[in-house]
C-alpha cells in the first residue's frame, strides 16, 4: 500500500508537469464516457428501469390487432373489456384506463389538463397505493356514482402547493363538482403516466356497452402459475369467439398479451436504442485508441527516463504499475467529468422535448442511479487497461543502451511508431463505422426536413379547445360556440385566416372509421374499407393552401339540414375511385353492416394528402367532413396570423374567454 501511495504521488507530479497532455486525455475520455453513460441510462430504461407497480413481471398488457384494417396495438372497447373480465381466467383481475382532456374551473383562469379515466380496481391491479388519502372504492365507476378524483403528485405540488388539506376539497372538473379523495405517489410520475394530472373513475356500464371505440388500455394481473404466453392464448380464444358471435363489429380482431417492457416501446424503437448503445460504444473505443496513441507517443518521449529507472534497479512490473496508475488517475478524472457530461445530456434531452409531456416524462426517467454510476465506474476502471496497458508494456520493453543512445540523438522508437500506426488504423476503421451510421441518420433527418408537407406550414398556430362536458352536451351548443369563436377570431386585424380541425396538422391522429361505398359489393368483414375521419371548418383547405385537385371544398351552405357532403384526400381517391370517379360518389360510415353517424354522404371534392409523422407507412386515406354538419366537443383552432404567431396568443385567449370564461 505504501508503494501504491508513492505511485499515486509520483503520477500526480508527473501529470502536473504536462497539464496540456493530461487535459487533452481527460476531456477526450470524459466526452466518450459521458455519452456512453447517458445512452446506457436510456438503454437501462428498457432493460431494467424501475417500474412503479407491484410484481411487474406478473402484469400483462392487453392489446388488439386487425390485419385487414392495418391496425396494431389497439386498446379494448368497453364491451370487450367486460368480455375479457368475464371469460379470461388467465387473469385474476383486469383494469383499464384511457386518457381524456378535462377542464378545471373555479380559479382565476380555466386550466385544461390531461386526465386519466380508470376503472375503480385499476390501482389494485397495479398494486399502487396513493400517497395521501385513498384509491377509488368499488362502485365509484358505476353510473350515477358520486364524482371523485385523485390528483397526480406533480399537479398536487404545482396547483395546491403540496397542501395535505386538499383531501375532501371540491374542485370543478368539466363544470361538475368533484371531491378530491387522494394524491398519487411520486413514483407514478413514470413514462406517459406522468402526463396525467387528474385521475377520474371510468364509468363501467355493462348494459348496452359499446364495441367501439377501442381506446381502453387494459392491464391484467396474471393468475398464479400462468405466464404471458398462456394468457395470450386464452385471450386469442376469447377474441376468436367474439368475432364469430359479433362479426359486424369484431371480425378480424385478435388479442395479444405483452409484458410491461414490451409495451414500453415498439421493437423498432428498442432496436434503435440498442444501435445507439453499440454506436457510442464504438465512440468509447475510438477515444481509448486516441488516448493509447498519445500514451505511446509520451512513452517514447519518456524512454530515457524509464531506461534510467531500470538502470537504477527498478523492476519492469514496478514501472508498468507506475504507468498504469497514471492512466487510472486520468481515467477516474475523466469519469467524474463524464458524469457531468451525462447529466448535461439528460437536461438537454428534457429541454428538446418541449411541450411533448409524454416524451419529457420519459426523458425524466433517465437518471444517474446506482446502476448508471456503477457502469460509469466500471468503464472508468476498465478503460486504462485498454489505453494504458499496452503503452506501459511497450515503454518498458525498450533496451537500455539503445534507449539512452536514441534519446541522446533525439531519435524515436520504430516499434512505437508501428504501434501508433496500428492504433490510428483502428481509429479510422471504428470512425468509419460510426460515420456510416451517422450519415444514414442525417440523411433521414434531412429527408424529413425537406419533405413536401402538402401545405404551407409557415406562421401556423394551433390552439386546442376542449369544451367542458357538463356544459356543452348538445351538438347545437357546440356548433354555436365554435362558430362564434371563429367569427370573433377572424375579426381580429392581426389574424390573416383561421379555421377548425379535429386534429392538428401533421402530428394529430384522426378518428378511424369503417366505410361502405355505394354501388360496391359488400366486402368481407375482415377487409372492410376504412379511412381516417377529420372534421374541418369551411376555410381549412384555403388556410393550409392544400391543393384542391377535383371538385370543390366546403361552403357556408354545408350546414345541418343540407345534404351531407365530404371531401377526400388523394390517397382515398386513388384507392377507391381511380381516375375521376370520386366526385359524385357516395359513402357512409358503418360498424359491421350497420350504418352509423347518419346515412349516405356525397363526395364533392378531392384534396392533396397531408404528410403524417409516421413516415414508415404510406399516406393513409382520410375523409374530411364540415364541422357544421359534424360538431365535436374538442377541436383545434388553426390560425395564420399576419405577424409573429406568439404575439397574437393573448388576444386569442381573451376573445375565447369573452365568449365563455370557463
User: What is the spatial distance between Cα 29 and Cα 287, in angstroms, rounded to a whole number?
Assistant: 6
Contact 583, 603 (CB under 8 A): yes
Residues facing 151 on adjacent strands: 183, 198
Residues 122-148 pLDDT 10s? 999 999 999 999 999 998 988 889 999
Give pLDDT, residue 345: 86
147-179: per-residue pLDDT in tens?
999 999 989 998 889 998 999 999 989 888 999
Q: So what's the pLDDT on residue 242?
A: 93
Q: How far apart are CA 397 and CA 378, in angstroms?
A: 29
Question: What's the distance, Cα to Cα, between the start and end of the chain in Å?
Answer: 73
User: Does 649 sit behind a cis peptide bond, omega within 30 degrees of 0 on the bond before it?
Assistant: no
3-state secondary structure string across 335-395: HHHHHHHHHHHHHHHHHHHCCCHHHHHHHHCCCCCHHHHHHHHHHHHHHHHHHCHHHHHHH
Pick the closest to residue 260 from 213, 216, 222, 215 (CA basis). Answer: 222
Distance CA 103, CA 284 (A): 49
Residue 239: the pLDDT is 94
Separation between Cα atoms, residue 651 and residue 637, nearest integer Å: 14
Classify burial at 613, counting beta carbons within 10 Å of its beta carbon; exposed 0-12, middle 13-18, buried 19 or more: exposed
Query: Cβ of 604: how many Cβ atoms within 10 Å?
Result: 22
Determine the Cα–Cα distance for residues 431 and 436; give it in Å rounded to an integer: 9
What's the whole-number mean pLDDT along residues 225-229? 93
521 class by beta-carbon count within 10 Å (0-12 exposed, 13-18 middle, 19+ buried): exposed
pLDDT of 29: 86
pLDDT at residue number 575: 87
Read off the C-alpha cell for 386: 485498454
Instruction: Report pLDDT for 609.
Output: 85
Distance of CA 262 to the CA centre of its chain: 14
Helical packing angle, 228-245 and 78-87, nearest 10°: 120
What are the cell numbers at 426?
A: 483502428
DSSP code per residue over 176-234:
EEEEEEEE--GGG--GGGGG--EEEEPP---TT--S----BEEEEEEPTT--HHHHHHH
Q: Report how far Cα 215 is from the mean position of its chain's Cα atoms.
A: 18
Sequence spans of domains, the chain: 2-49+266-447, 70-251, 461-659
Q: What is the 3-state secondary structure (H, E, C) of 126-162?
A: HCCCCCEECCCCCCCCCCCCCCEEEECHHHHHHHHCC
pLDDT in the model for residue 398: 55
Closest CA to 276 of 333, 326, 218, 349: 349
Contact assessment for residue 461 and residue 648, using Cβ atoms and an 8 Å cutoff: yes
Give the pLDDT score at 414: 53
In this prediction, residues 499-516 reach a mean pLDDT of 80
- Asked whether 506 and 541 are in contact (CB, 8 A), the reply is no
Task: Give me the pLDDT at residue 316, please.
Answer: 66
Whole-number Å distance between alpha carbons of 198 and 172: 12
Burial of 448 (0-12, 13-18, 19+ CB in 10 A): exposed
Identify how many contiguous H helices and E strands the chain contains and give both numbers.
Answer: 20, 21
* Pick from 346, 430, 429, 419: nearest CA to 387: 419
The pLDDT of residue 641: 93
pLDDT, tens digit, 9 for 90 and up, residues 471-484: 788 888 899 999 99
Band (615; pLDDT cuts 50, 70, 90):
low
Distance between CA atoms of residues 133 and 447, nearest Å: 51
d(CA 398, CA 162): 69
The band of 616, judged by pLDDT with boundaries at 50, 70 and 90, is low
Return d(Cα 154, Cα 134) in angstroms, integer: 17
Predicted confidence at residue 1, as pLDDT, reads 66
Mean pLDDT (the chain, rounded):
82
Would you give the DSSP letter of residue 38?
H
In percent, how much of the chain has pLDDT > 90? 27
Please give the pLDDT value at position 592: 54
Q: Using the Cα atoms of residue 31, residue 33, residue 39 and residue 45 in order, give the sign of their dihedral.
A: negative
State the DSSP code for 166.
G
Q: What tens digit of pLDDT does each residue of 382-426 get?
A: 877 766 666 666 666 655 545 445 555 444 555 556 666 777 777
pTM score of the predicted model: 0.70
Over range 57-85, report the average pLDDT.
89
Nearest to 645 by CA among 457, 500, 493, 459: 459
Could you tell me the pLDDT band of residue 568, with boundaries at 50, 70 and 90? very high
H-assigned helices in 517-629: 540-544, 570-576
Residue 507: exposure state from Cβ atoms within 10 A (0-12, 13-18, ≥19): exposed
- 3-state secondary structure (DSSP) of residue 659: helix
User: Burial level of 120, CB count in 10 A (0-12/13-18/19+)?
Assistant: buried
Which pLDDT tens digit goes with each residue over 256-273? 999 887 777 666 677 777
Instruction: With CA atoms as reference, report the closest residue to 91 among 206, 226, 255.
Output: 226
Q: How confident is the model at residue 524 (pLDDT cuts 50, 70, 90)?
A: low
| Alpha carbons 541 and 553: distance in angstroms, whole number | 7
Amino acid at each position: 500500500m505504501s508503494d501504491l501511495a508513492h505511485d499515486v504521488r509520483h503520477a500526480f507530479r508527473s501529470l502536473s508537469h504536462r497539464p496540456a497532455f493530461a487535459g487533452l486525455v481527460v476531456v477526450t475520455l470524459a466526452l466518450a464516457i459521458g455519452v456512453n453513460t447517458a445512452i446506457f441510462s436510456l438503454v437501462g430504461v428498457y432493460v431494467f428501469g424501475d417500474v412503479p407497480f407491484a410484481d411487474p413481471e406478473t402484469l400483462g398488457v392487453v392489446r388488439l390487432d386487425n390485419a385487414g384494417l392495418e391496425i396494431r396495438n389497439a386498446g379494448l372497447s368497453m364491451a370487450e373489456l367486460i368480455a375479457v373480465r368475464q371469460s379470461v381466467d388467465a387473469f385474476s383481475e383486469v383494469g383499464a384506463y384511457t386518457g381524456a382532456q378535462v377542464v378545471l374551473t373555479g380559479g382565476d383562469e380555466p386550466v385544461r389538463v390531461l386526465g386519466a379515466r380508470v376503472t375503480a380496481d385499476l390501482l389494485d391491479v397495479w398494486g399502487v397505493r396513493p400517497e395521501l388519502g385513498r384509491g377509488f372504492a368499488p362502485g365509484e365507476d358505476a353510473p350515477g356514482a358520486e364524482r371523485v378524483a385523485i390528483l397526480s403528485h406533480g399537479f398536487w405540488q404545482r396547483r395546491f402547493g403540496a397542501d395535505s388539506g386538499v383531501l375532501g376539497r371540491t374542485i370543478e372538473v368539466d363544470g361538475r363538482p368533484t371531491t378530491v379523495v387522494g394524491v398519487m405517489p411520486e413514483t407514478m410520475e413514470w413514462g406517459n403516466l406522468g402526463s396525467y394530472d387528474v385521475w377520474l373513475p371510468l364509468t363501467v356500464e355493462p348494459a348496452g356497452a359499446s364495441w367501439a371505440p377501442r381506446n381502453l388500455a387494459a392491464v391484467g394481473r396474471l393468475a398464479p402459475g400462468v405466464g404471458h404466453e398462456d394468457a395470450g392464448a386464452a385471450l386469442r380464444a376469447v377474441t376468436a369467439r367474439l368475432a364469430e358471435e359479433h362479426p359486424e363489429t369484431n371480425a378480424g380482431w385478435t388479442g395479444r398479451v405483452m409484458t410491461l417492457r414490451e409495451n414500453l416501446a415498439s421493437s423498432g424503437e428498442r432496436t434503435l436504442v440498442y444501435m445507439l448503445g453499440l454506436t457510442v460504444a464504438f465512440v468509447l473505443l475510438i477515444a481509448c485508441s486516441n488516448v493509447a496513441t498519445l500514451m505511446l507517443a509520451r512513452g517514447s518521449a519518456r524512454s530515457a527516463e524509464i531506461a534510467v529507472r531500470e538502470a537504477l534497479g527498478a523492476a519492469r512490473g514496478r514501472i508498468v504499475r507506475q504507468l498504469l496508475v497514471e492512466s487510472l488517475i486520468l481515467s477516474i478524472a475523466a469519469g467524474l467529468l463524464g458524469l457531468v457530461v451525462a447529466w448535461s445530456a439528460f437536461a438537454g434531452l428534457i429541454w428538446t422535448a418541449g411541450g411533448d409531456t409524454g416524451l419529457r416524462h420519459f426523458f425524466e426517467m433517465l437518471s444517474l442511479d446506482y446502476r448508471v454510476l456503477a457502469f460509469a465506474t466500471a468503464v472508468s476502471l476498465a478503460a486504462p487497461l485498454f489505453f494504458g496497458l499496452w503503452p506501459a508494456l511497450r515503454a518498458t520493453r525498450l533496451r537500455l543502451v539503445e534507449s539512452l543512445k536514441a534519446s541522446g540523438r533525439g531519435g524515436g522508437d520504430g516499434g512505437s511508431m508501428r504501434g501508433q500506426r496500428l492504433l490510428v488504423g483502428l481509429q479510422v476503421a471504428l470512425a468509419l463505422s460510426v460515420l456510416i451510421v451517422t450519415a444514414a441518420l442525417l440523411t433521414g433527418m434531412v429527408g424529413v426536413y425537406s419533405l413536401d408537407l402538402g401545405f404551407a406550414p409557415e406562421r401556423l398556430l394551433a390552439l386546442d379547445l376542449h369544451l367542458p362536458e357538463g356544459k356543452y352536451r348538445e351538438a347545437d351548443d357546440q356548433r354555436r360556440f365554435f362558430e362564434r369563436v371563429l367569427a370573433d377570431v377572424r375579426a381580429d386585424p392581426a389574424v390573416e385566416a383561421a379555421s377548425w380541425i379535429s386534429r392538428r396538422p401533421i402530428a394529430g391522429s384522426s378518428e378511424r372509421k369503417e366505410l361502405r361505398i355505394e354501388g360496391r359489393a359488400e366486402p368481407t368483414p375482415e377487409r372492410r374499407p376504412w379511412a381516417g375521419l377529420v372534421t374541418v371548418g369551411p376555410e381549412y383547405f384555403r388556410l393550409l393552401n392544400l391543393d384542391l385537385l377535383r371538385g370543390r371544398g366546403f361552403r357556408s351552405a354545408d350546414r345541418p339540414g343540407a345534404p351531407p357532403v365530404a371531401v377526400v384526400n388523394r390517397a382515398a381517391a386513388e384507392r377507391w375511385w381511380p381516375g375521376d370517379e370520386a366526385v359524385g360518389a357516395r359513402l357512409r360510415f358503418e360498424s359491421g353492416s350497420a350504418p352509423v353517424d347518419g346515412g349516405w354522404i356525397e363526395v364533392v371534392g378531392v384534396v392533396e394528402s397531408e404528410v403524417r409523422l409516421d413516415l414508415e407507412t404510406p399516406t393513409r386515406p382520410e375523409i374530411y367532413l364540415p364541422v357544421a354538419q359534424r360538431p365535436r366537443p374538442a377541436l383545434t383552432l388553426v390560425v395564420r396570423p399576419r405577424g409573429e404567431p406568439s404575439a397574437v396568443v393573448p388576444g386569442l385567449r381573451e376573445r375565447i374567454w369573452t365568449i365563455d370564461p370557463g
